[in-house]
Chain A
Amino acid sequence: MRAWTASSCPTSLIPVNEILLFIITTTTNHAELLSMSKQQIEGSEANPYHVGVVASRPEQSGMSPEFTIFDLLRQFPGIEVEGMSSYGCKIDKLSELARKHRWQEIYTSFLIPDIVLNPIGIWLEPDRTLCVAGFPSGKFAESVHLSNQMTILPGKILVCNLTVQGLASHWGWEIPDSDGTGLPSNHRIHRGKLIWTPNQQHNS
């Protein structure tokens, strides 16, 4: 894993346009996530950060509005997780972080696409959110020219909770468990049901 260092640039100089670009992009993705199909997923290798995302909205595709990210998992047994690499982030959430000047957490949110693209584990939490864990590469941050603003913590795992709509609601770094699985600390106790790992298909 590459190690990044925090920029010497003061956080007060955060590039505003890049943040807004992110907000706009993810808001769009939120509406679009629900209309993914297997065919579109398989044919979308050209743009790895919007894999499986199509322009039509659920009401236009004829798909039930209740169609959720869990349906995606059930629809594609053995799915390559690249198929669910789209995600969103609530504007309210980012606004609240900005209001409190929690820039590091905003920067870290730019790493979420990396782990959703290439997770090491996915859990179904009791509150019906998905918990996705992984080691971010920083590629998405590079694409929005923010890679010098954040720190990838070597040896730590980035964990993110996604709502049923595919919205990132909570994220942060955790230490690996001592059980040797490479999954987040105490995942057997503090996480819900493990439904996917790269090497094993779990029942959802």
Chain B
Amino acid sequence: MDTKSAAQQLINASETRHFQPFGMYDAETDSFHFIAKDVPKFANRLNPCFTMFLSYPDEELVGFEIKKFSRLLHKMRALPAFAILFSENTVKFATSVDAALFGFGAADVCNEEMEDEQVTEVHQLLKSHRFEDTTLNFNSMELCET
């Protein structure tokens, strides 16, 4: 656990740096966050596993959260159609995002009401921040440069 003095050092050190888009797995909540901008934002939940973050007030897509992420990866690896997309330790991050977008990680297999526009928006977000070809190491749950 971080101590208060460690937190102080961290915050002091952080003062001179700027926000960078990132993707991060949170083991405590089994969720994966992708955040592109540090702006006021609100959640727009598309399905039980996928939530978009929209900026306030202009409602631009600035990130998303995938819940039950490890379960999603497990389900994907168990199906041949997805399994072929996995290497020994990695899978394309965008592939897991697509699976989550269509509710694959949820109890109901597929969200047929998913708007093409929303899928396109998410793809565009990844592309504009150069994450479209990023891979995910599903052992460490960290994104890797390609």
**Chain A residues in the interface with B (C-beta under 8 A):** 6, 11-14, 16, 19-20, 23-24, 27, 91-92, 94-95, 98-104, 108, 150-151, 153, 156, 169-170, 172-175, 185-186, 189-190
Number of interface residues of B (CB under 8 A): 33
Q: Give Cα distance in the complex from A170 to B51, angstroms.
A: 14
- Are A16 and B42 interface neighbours, CB within 8 A? no
Q: How far in angstroms is the closest Cβ of chain B from A170?
A: 6
Chain A residue at minimum C-beta to C-beta distance from B28:
A169
- Are A12 and B16 interface neighbours, CB within 8 A? yes
Q: A169-B29, A173-B41 known; A95 and B7 CB under 8 Å?
A: yes
Which residue of A12, A23, A98 is within 8 Å of B18 (Cβ)? A12
Which residue of B4, B28, B29 is within 8 Å of A23 (Cβ)? B4
Q: A16-B12, A102-B38 known; A172 and B43 CB under 8 Å?
A: yes
Which residue of B2, B24, B45 is within 8 Å of A92 (Cβ)? B2
A contact residues around B80 at 8 Å (CB): none
Q: A104-B41, A156-B56 known; A95 and B6 CB under 8 Å?
A: yes
- Are A98 and B40 interface neighbours, CB within 8 A? no
Which residue of A12, A16, A19, A189 is within 8 Å of B17 (Cβ)? A12
Q: CB within 8 Å of A: which of B3-18?
A: 3-4, 6-8, 10-12, 14-18
Q: Give Cα distance in the complex from A9 to B20, angstroms.
A: 19
* Residue among A104, A153, A185, A190 facing the most chain B CB atoms (10 A cut-off): A104
Q: How far in angstroms is the closest Cβ of chain B from A165?
A: 13
Q: Give Cα distance in the complex from A170 to B29, angstroms.
A: 9
Chain B residue at minimum C-beta to C-beta distance from A4:
B40
Q: Give Cα distance in the complex from A86 to B39, angstroms.
A: 27
Q: Give Cα distance in the complex from A98 to B11, angstroms.
A: 6
Q: Give the 10 A-B CB pairs with smallest separation, nearest first.
A: A173-B42, A151-B40, A101-B19, A95-B2, A153-B56, A95-B7, A174-B43, A156-B42, A98-B11, A91-B2
Taking A104-B40, A186-B45 as known contacts, 18 extra A-B pairs with beta carbons closer than 8 A to each other, sorted by chain A number, are A11-B38, A12-B16, A12-B17, A14-B15, A20-B4, A20-B11, A91-B4, A94-B7, A95-B10, A98-B10, A98-B11, A101-B17, A103-B19, A104-B39, A151-B40, A153-B56, A156-B42, A173-B56
